[in-house]
Amino acid sequence: MSEEQIRLPEMREEVFSAVRALADSEYQKRVWIERKYPNPDYFDDFTLNVNILDDATILDNPHAVIGYTLASEEEAQAMKSLADRLLQIIEEVGSESPDSAFLASPLWNGVVEAAKNVLEVMTQ
């Protein structure tokens, strides 16, 4: 399935943007922790990106969104790995914790690596 056949291309772009943020440690430090935004109207944090993935129903069942926001079984598998890591770290650190607590967790590198893998699969 090509990206042209995706039924929700705008949502796919939001998902891609959220995954890109989750894959970039430098961005996370600069924007989520230091709050250095590219412009005054900008906002981003860990919770926002998780909520985007949750709203797209990718965290619950990535296979169910193939054709809507994901283009293939390979994307769904990569997203499932990311979803599992996100749910694990949220459970361990606590959903109300500050972004700094997530980034300090020993589980965080696994989240970043899983997100990098999703980006690689989505851009093939």
Would you state the pLDDT for residue 5?
87
Would you state the pLDDT for residue 2?
58
d(CA 51, CA 49): 5
Nearby residues of 115 by Cβ (< 8 Å), 6 or more positions away: 19, 20, 22, 23, 82
CA 96 to each of CA 12, 47, 101, 119: distance values in angstroms, whole numbers, following the listed order: 27, 9, 10, 27
Q: How many CB atoms lie within 10 A of CB 91?
A: 10
For the residues 13-37, what does the mean pLDDT come to?
A: 97
Residue 1 pLDDT > 80: no
Q: Give me the amino acid identity at 4.
A: E
> Which residue carries 């959903």 as its tokens?
95
The string of pLDDT tens digits covering residues 84-95 is 999 999 999 999
d(CA 14, CA 11): 5
Question: Considering only CA atoms, which of 52, 51, 77 is closest in space to residue 62?
Answer: 77
DSSP secondary structure code for residue 97 in this structure: S
